[in-house]
Amino acid sequence: MSIRRLRILIAVAERGSFAAAADMMLISPSAVSQQMAKLEEELRTEIFDRRKRPPELNRDGYALVPKAKEIVAAYDALIRLAQDQDAPSGELVLGAIPTTLTELVPRVLKRMREAYPLLHFRVSPDLSAELMNQVDRGALDGAIISEPVRLPANLTFHAVALEPLVLLLPKDVEGDDPEAVLATHPFIRFTRRAWTGRDIDDWLQARGIRVREIMELDRPEAIAMMVHHGLGVSIIPEHCVPEPISVGIRRLPLGPTARPRAIGLICRRDSVKARPLELLTQELEIAARERKPADSSTERAQTTV
């Protein structure tokens, strides 16, 4: 029985569907279905109700999830223990886009510091394009950025999470149709200097939505605070609102027409710090998998990036 199949089982339980689990694990829905079928073969029991579309975990399936989490956690701890025999040390100079600094990066760095006390970190924020340039010229060991459209040959990018775009709106704004809300409320734009900001602009143009723009900001927490105070609505990646600000804000998914943002770690192929960067990538993947989807229907939602 593979650990990966158990991770997929946990993702299905937490996300509620094969498609959502596929987004979380960065694989296709058909791959999720195949892996779960193989897991059922190994267990010699059905853990999904396949009469439903999409298939849902049955009672036996849900009963397995807590034990699966224990096994995966024990496996991850074993890997860390083995790696500690050759524990990395020194300094890792990193960059990170602002949308990852409100939750994902702090959580990962805390775990890295606890696991590898001899490894130290220095982190600088900037937009993806500038961070990629700094990695390219050796000013940074690596950076957590949005996926580049074009990647220089000497760099490598490892995606760790997909983040759907969502519409932020004050809790007292009625309506569940994002396009109708955008057409009737002031719009707070996520900066077009960021790759994600350009993706948002492309989506608006493709849908023929004309917004009444009142400001353009580059910090997700600032955008969320403006929305929180009822100044307008905005589009940002799902996991970008700091927890205290999320009270009083609703999220509406834009749906499949809006391409989700992929974030990951970029570094040089010839980096002399390949080992600590590999460990960082692993921790980013674990932290991203542990996220819960933001609740679009309530005042309070889970945060991250």
**pLDDT digit string, tens, across residues 42-70:** 999 999 998 888 899 999 999 999 999 99
Residue 174 has pLDDT above 70, yes or no: yes
**Which two tokens mark 270?**
């010839």
d(CA 4, CA 237): 26
Give the model's pLDDT for residue 296. 44
Task: Judge whether 92 and 122 are in contact, CB under 8 Å.
Answer: yes
pLDDT for 301 beyond 60: no
Residue limits of CATH 3.40.190.10 in the chain: 88-162+261-290, 165-253
Instruction: Express as a percent the part of the chain with pLDDT over 70.
Output: 91
Parallel/antiparallel/unpaired status of strands 186-190 and 212-217: parallel
Give per-residue pLDDT as tens, 80-125. 666 655 667 789 999 999 889 888 999 999 999 988 888 999 999 9
**Three-state secondary-structure class, residue 168:** strand
For tokens 């100044």, the residue is 231
Instruction: Name every residue whose Cβ is closer than 8 Å to that of residue 68 and which is 6 or more positions away in sequence.
Output: 6, 9, 10
The first and second tokens of residue 253, run together, are 């998914």
Give residue 73's pLDDT band: very low, low, confident or very high (50, 70, 90).
confident
User: What SS3 state is found at 92?
Assistant: strand
pTM value is 0.68
**What is the structure's pLDDT at 128?**
94
The model's pLDDT over 177-235, given as tens digits with 9 standing for 90+, comes to: 999 999 999 999 999 999 999 999 999 999 999 999 999 998 888 999 999 999 999 99
Does the pLDDT value for residue 32 go beyond 60?
yes
Instruction: Give the CATH fold of the 165-253 domain.
Output: D-Maltodextrin-Binding Protein; domain 2 (3.40.190)
Q: How many of the other CB atoms lie within 10 Å of CB of 255? A: 10
pLDDT of residue 264: 96
CATH number of 3-83: 1.10.10.10
Please tell me whether residue 21 adopts helix, strand or coil conformation.
helix
Specify the pLDDT at position 231: 95
Q: Could you give the CA distance from residue 305 to residue 288 in angstroms, rounded to a whole number?
A: 10
Q: Are 290 and 12 in contact (CB under 8 A)?
A: no
Residues of the chain with CATH 1.10.10.10: 3-83
pLDDT at residue 243, rounded to an integer: 64
pLDDT at residue 297 in the model: 39
Contact predicate 140/94, CB 8 Å: yes
Q: What mean pLDDT value characterizes the chain? A: 88
- Report whether CATH 3.40.630.10 matches the domain 88-162+261-290: no
